[in-house]
Structure 1
Amino acid sequence: MLERWNPVAEAERMLTEMNRLMSEVFERPLVRARVLAWRPATDVYETGDALVVRLAVPGAKPEDLEVTVEQNVVTVRGKYGYRLSEDEAKQATWYRREITTGEFAESITLPVPVNLEGAKATVENGIVTLTFPKAEEARVKRIPVQISGS
């Protein structure tokens, strides 16, 4: 069967194929790069006697996190996101999947000397909280002012 050549239809087909190709070449690596470079949002602040570090790690569980301190640098490693159980995964039919999962490592230089003996690490509602008591030399000390000669 002979079909009449339609230059407009041919141009539309070529544009569709070019868009698909460009999408695969440029968009997917960007998505992968964002996932590979994932970093938790982090807050670092001090109170009168402690230094507090908070990281937003969705889906974080204590068993998926590791906290180490070396030479005044705290490193938090772990997993983020959620994973379906094997039974759920076998039965799942995905229609949309945007919540990423993966691993991360974040290192933060501690801005003040801390006492590691009293350090605590907790996780609640996707927020990892590290609390370090400030070392004695980092705490504010008040010196009373007296009248000279007394």
Structure 2
Amino acid sequence: MLERWNPVAEMERLWNEMDRIFEEAFGRTARPLASRVLSYRPATDIYDTGEALVVKVAVPGAKPEDLEVSFEQNTLTIRGHYGYHLSEDEAKKVTWYRREIGTGQFAESFTLPVPVDTEHAEATFADGILTLTLPKAEQARIKRIPVHAPQALASSLN
């Protein structure tokens, strides 16, 4: 099977080898098992339209039912699954020549720069992109205040 060189996988291989050496020498590993898990962070864009914050998250291979979006105070959390899985029957029948598409779970939290109206928030998912439209709370919206000249001064300027 041909595999594309992956520096993260290479570091993981190096850590595993170091763990084996520590295990042989001292009877314990160099780092706890929990720290070995390499986390997936989906590519994310957050921008302000003036009326709302828009969050776009690239989650390849996900389905809408694989994703969970929640708010707590001013923190947005997105959890889900990415990638794809072969059924056991399919997996037994295939010969891999290249395998680069990862699969797994992720959880990302973002502190939003302004308060949002979660009651009117919308979430859509198309073409592997989760789009959240989060209307700004009324107090967070920019308000324009017109500047007027006093009447007496305005008439003398003409």
- Of residues 71, 78, 81, the one that matches 1:79 is 81
1:32-71 paired onto structure 2 within 5 Å: 36-71=38-73
Partner SS, residue 131 of structure 1: strand
Distance (Å, rounded) in 1 between the aligned partners of 2:41 and 2:56 = 13
Instruction: State the one-letter code of the partner of 2:139.
Output: E
Instruction: State the one-letter code of the partner of 2:109.
Output: S
Partner SS, residue 94 of structure 1: coil
Q: Which sections of structure 2, spanning at least 5 residues, go unmatched?
A: 1-9, 18-34, 153-158
What is the deviation of 1:88?
Answer: 2.2
Q: Which residue pairs with 2:119 in the alignment?
A: 117
What is the deviation of 1:95?
Answer: 2.0
Partner SS, residue 90 of structure 1: helix
Mapped contact 1:81–1:102 kept (Cα < 8 A)? yes
In structure 2, relative to structure 1, the CA distance for the partners of 1:109 and 1:89 (3 Å cut) is same
Distance (Å, rounded) in 2 between the aligned partners of 1:34 and 1:110 = 30
Aligned residue pairs, count: 126
Q: TM-score, normalised by structure 2?
A: 0.71
Distance (Å, rounded) in 2 between the aligned partners of 1:137 and 1:34 = 44
In structure 2, relative to structure 1, the CA distance for the partners of 1:134 and 1:63 (3 Å cut) is same
Q: Which residue pairs with 1:105 in the alignment?
A: 107
In structure 2, relative to structure 1, the CA distance for the partners of 1:25 and 1:58 (3 Å cut) is closer
What is the deviation of 1:23?
Answer: 9.2
Distance (Å, rounded) in 2 between the aligned partners of 1:28 and 1:82 = 26
- Of residues 130, 146, 149, the one that matches 1:147 is 149
- Of residues 14, 19, 35, the one that matches 1:26 is 14
Mapped contact 1:75–1:105 kept (Cα < 8 A)? yes
Mapped contact 1:60–1:123 kept (Cα < 8 A)? no
Q: Flag the structure with larger Rg.
A: 1
Partner SS, residue 137 of structure 1: helix
In structure 2, relative to structure 1, the CA distance for the partners of 1:84 and 1:46 (3 Å cut) is same
Instruction: State the one-letter code of the partner of 2:147.
Output: V
1:7-22 paired onto structure 2 within 5 Å: none
Listed one character per residue, the Cα deviations across residues 93-119 of structure 1 (whole Å, up to 9, x for unaligned) are 222211110100000111111100111
Q: Which residue pairs with 1:135 in the alignment?
A: 137
Instruction: State the one-letter code of the partner of 1:93.
Output: T
Listed one character per residue, the Cα deviations across residues 16-45 of structure 1 (whole Å, up to 9, x for unaligned) are xxxxxx99941878xxx8972210111111
Q: TM-score, normalised by structure 1?
A: 0.74
